Amino acid sequence: AAAAVRAAGGTVRDALPLVGGVSAELPEGAVLAPAFRVVENSPLTLASKNGVGKAGDPTAVRTAMGMGPAAGEGSGVTVAVVDTGVAKSAELPNVTRVDVSESSEGDNYDAYGHGTFVAGIIAGTGAADGTYAGVAPGAHVLDVRVADAAGTTDLATVLKGLQAVADHKGGVDVLNLSLSSGSPLPYQVDPLAQALEQLWAQGVVVVVPTGNDGPSQGSVSSPGSDPVLLTVGALDTRRTPERTDDGVPQFSGRGPAPQGVAKPDLVAAGVSLVSVAAPGSTVAAENPSAKVGKNYFRGSGTSFATAAVSGAAAVLIGQNDGLGPEDVKAHLRATAYSAKALKDVRDAGAGGLDLGRALTTLVEDVDPVDIDGPPADDADAWHAFLEALLTGDREAAAAAWGQLSPETHAWAASRWAGLSLEASRWAANSWSASRWAGEDGTGDEWQMRYWAASRWAASRWASDGFVASRWAANSWSASRWAASRWAGDEEFAASRWAASRWSAASWG
């Protein structure tokens, strides 16, 4: 990719081995060979979105999750927070900092304030007020700063930040990316989604939000639409200890995600949460009414629900050696709780995060395949399909697939296949195009249209080299990104890449 950029008269900015490409500047009008995929840079801006969601009484995340006083949970676990930075604070003493933002704020490690708030939910110690400690106060935070004082960043910078996570010598267990890009690209070719999948494959639990564009169905945004990742929507606890009145706030993104992917995976507290304030930050200055005491701040949004789940993942890993990302995702989903307003899987996925149950249920007692069974009416046909696959009977598999409903097709592509990377790798070797697409084409429809389009795209079983060699970053110039190139919508850039993608829905 780098050689192709140079041959076209361009300049390579950063090598991004995580996605097998580079960020670069290309002369206007330059065209690379068809073997390379060019993705233009896109601006991502952090900002609060006041008035979305309902501000209420301040809520401590540990209280919302039914946890007691902080007890050093998450000790020995590292959580990467790829965000606006983490300010120096007694509330967050265990932080390693990496800055890829190229900003000029010097020792002001979080001039915007979003990243500090997120980190506080995950690992705040509650030094000033133990009530507001984070979910995993014993965890180590790898602060990867990708935005400036205005909360502004772009795809190239975020990818560079994710590369820093991959390169971190101490290793990373959990990655919190409270970012939704709004990219129109399918997750199979979106560099951001592919970078996160690579981290997942390396053993990192990647937690991302649904975004704040609810309540309409199909409002989950990228990278939360990727079936592999752990996608979180927001939960409103109504500031009561009972769970029967819990619901999903209006702003939380709803499924299904594009290509019929079932999202979110679950929901977690995300309304009026209290966390660490970054002194003198943009967010603090613009939202004085959200101040709680001297050291804390109140905010709502899927950004913070995501942080709550990242903290829960850290606690679970800390108490169970050897857990992989698939184990964590399956376990948190399997132990989620339900309520009347959490029944619709498009709104709440598996239900509300129940960390207490997750910690008292043996991980080995959870079977990932049984968590998300196919629709009951298709159970027999699904098992016939599986048996045909496992015995290598192409004709029987194609016939059985044809008997399944569209709902089961969508479930299979987005859930069963995505639950295990081991299954993906096995499929890559066993279900290749040459084996299943016969001369009569009977295997082609279900293989290419459903499995390839929804889960095992080129990067999974047509060619591992797709990610490694088929895209190079373009000029990364925001001015060259035109919404009309994708959907003919002149307002696309303004509405889809808006600040609400990253930010909390309300700081009030």
Question: Hey, which residues are catalytic here?
Answer: 83, 114, 303
Q: Whole-angstrom Cα distance, residue 267 to residue 350?
A: 8
Q: Whole-angstrom Cα distance, residue 492 to residue 361?
A: 45
Token pair 């003198």 is found at: 280
Amino acid of residue 147: A
End-to-end Cα separation, the chain, in angstroms: 46
Pairing of strands 21-25, 11-16: antiparallel
Could you give the 3-state DSSP secondary structure of residue 416?
helix
The DSSP-derived string for 193-204 is HHHHHHHHHTT-
- Residue 19 region by backbone torsions, left for phi larger than 0, else alpha for psi between -120 and 50, else beta: alpha
Q: Whole-angstrom Cα distance, residue 149 to residue 138?
A: 28
Could you give the 3-state DSSP secondary structure of residue 419?
helix
Give the residue among 58, 111, 507, 88 at the shortest CA–CA distance from 292: 58
Q: In this structure, how many other beta carbons lie within 10 angstroms of the beta carbon of residue 66? A: 15
Q: In this structure, how many other beta carbons lie within 10 angstroms of the beta carbon of residue 377? A: 12
Return the structure tokens found at 152. 């502004």
Q: Whole-angstrom Cα distance, residue 314 to residue 75?
A: 8
Local structure of residue 265 (DSSP, 8 states): S
Could you give the 3-state DSSP secondary structure of residue 251?
coil
Q: Whole-angstrom Cα distance, residue 161 to residue 276?
A: 23
Q: Whole-angstrom Cα distance, residue 60 to residue 275?
A: 8
Buried b / exposed e along 217-238 (16+ C-beta atoms within 10 A): eebbbbbbbbbbbbbbbbbbbb
